[in-house]
Structure 1
Amino acid sequence: MAPKQQRGEATVDLLLDTALRVYAASGRQGFTVNAVTAASGVSFGSLYHHFGSFDGLAAALYIRCQDQLCDPVVAAVTRSRTARTGVQAFVKAYLDFTREHRDVATFVHASAYSRYLTAHAKEVAAAKEAKFAAIASWMYARVAAGEVAVLPDQMIEVLLVGPVAETAHRWLAGTYEGDLDEAIRVLPDRIWRSLRAD
């Protein structure tokens, strides 16, 4: 790799790392282009050169954080032999990641309806689809095998991801009264009942 390209990649990583730290320390209100450039020492011009806009930086950070969350979840699910153990693996991997990587999980969950995701909707959707393709393929095989109910794709996604993501969101916000270990014990069977073939 050429030195100029190495410097460019190092700058991108520095900006993304700094943006996450700024968000973790200051929340949505303090997550500004001025805060990120001041904390990173990178100029406005360099930020705009690499990301096009502050929304572009935020969307790139969201995709990076989403990837970090999805990688262990996808690995856990696709190693599972049955639909039931896959659901258990999904819940555990997702909530374990949330507990162990709070800053990353907070940014993913807090970004759901943010302007920067709207501005980069196609890019974000493509990245998400690429990550979840392995889980979708794994799930289709379980539907074909008669383990999982024949349901529309989006309904399967809502039934699998919805309860886990909402639990993580509330825990991160401090509004979840239970603990994550309890959720890991209870959710898999409840979600499995909603997905299993009758």
Structure 2
Amino acid sequence: MSPKQQRGEATVEQLLDAALRVYAESGEQGLTVAAITRASGVSLGSLYHHFGSVDGLMNALLTRWLGRLLGELVTALEHTRTAHTGIRALVRAYLNFVQEHRDAALLLHSSYADRQAMADGKRLRDAQEARLSPLAEWAGRYVAAGDLAPLPAPLLESLVLGPVTGVARRWLSGIDDVDLDQAAVLLPERIWRSVAAQG
């Protein structure tokens, strides 16, 4: 990689990191060009050169952190041997991610992210296809084996991750009535009952 490419990548990283800090500190209303360039130390021209706009920057930031979350979920599944332990691993990995990367989790569970998903969900999903495929393959394998209910993949995904996402949103909102460690213990069994094939 040439020095120019290295500088370009470093600039991209600075802008992404700064945008996440600005979002975490000031919310969506604080996501201005001035705030991001000030926090990053990067020029306005560089922001537009690399991302085209603040929305382009934020979409790249969403894509980056969604990819990391999905990567952690896939890694968690690699160490399981049954559908049941897989459900437990998915729930725990998701909630651990939320605790360890609170700022990124705030963005991923925000109304901003929801609007982007509604407006451009297919592109976002296509961009994560390499990370989503192992999750779908894992579920498909256990559906075929008769361990998971024979439901369409989107419904299985919703039954497994919907409750976890709801708990994460509640915790991230600052409501002080959710203990993520307790949820990581209690939720997997309840979710398992909803997706296990009926004997």
- 1:113 corresponds in structure 2 to 114
Tell me by how many angstroms 1:48 deviates. Answer: 1.1
Q: Please give the residue correspondences for 1:1-198 in structure 2 after superposition, counting only pairs within 5 Å.
A: 1-110=1-110, 111-115=112-116, 117=117, 120-175=120-175, 177-198=177-198
Shift, 1:70, TM fit: 1.8
Distance 1:104-1:49 versus aligned 2 partners, 3 A rule: same
Aligned residue for 2:109, secondary structure, equals: helix
What's the offset of the Cα at 1:176? 5.5
**Cα distance, 1:127–1:184 mapped onto 2, change above 3 Å:** same
C-alpha separation in 1, matches of 2:46 and 2:143: 48
1:126: Cα distance to partner? 1.4
Please say if residues 33 and 54 of structure 2, whose CA atoms lie closer than 8 Å, have aligned partners that are also in contact. yes
Kindly, what percent of the aligned residue pairs are identical? Answer: 53
Over the residues paired in the alignment, what is the CA RMSD in angstroms?
1.5
Query: Could you tell me the TM-score, scaled by structure 1's length?
Result: 0.93
| Alpha-carbon distance in structure 2 between the residues aligned to 1:91 and 1:176 | 20
What code does the residue aligned with 2:115 have? Answer: S
Query: In the TM superposition, what whole-angstrom CA distance separates every residue of 1:118-156 from its partner, at most 9, and x where no partner exists?
Result: 665443221233322111101100001100010111110
TM-score of the superposition, structure 2-length normalised? 0.93
| C-alpha deviation, 1:42, in angstroms | 1.4
Q: Which amino acid aligns with 2:114?
A: Y
Paired residue type of 1:186: L
Deviation track 1:24-58 (CA, whole Å, cap 9, x = no partner) reads 11111112222101211212221111112111100
How many residues are treated as equivalent by the alignment? 197
Residues 143 and 150 in structure 1, CA contact (< 8 A), matched pair in contact too: yes
Distance 1:162 1:22, change over 3 A: same
User: What is the alpha-carbon distance in structure 2 between the residues aligned to residue 53 and residue 11 of structure 1?
Assistant: 15
Q: Which runs of 5+ in 1 are unaligned?
A: none
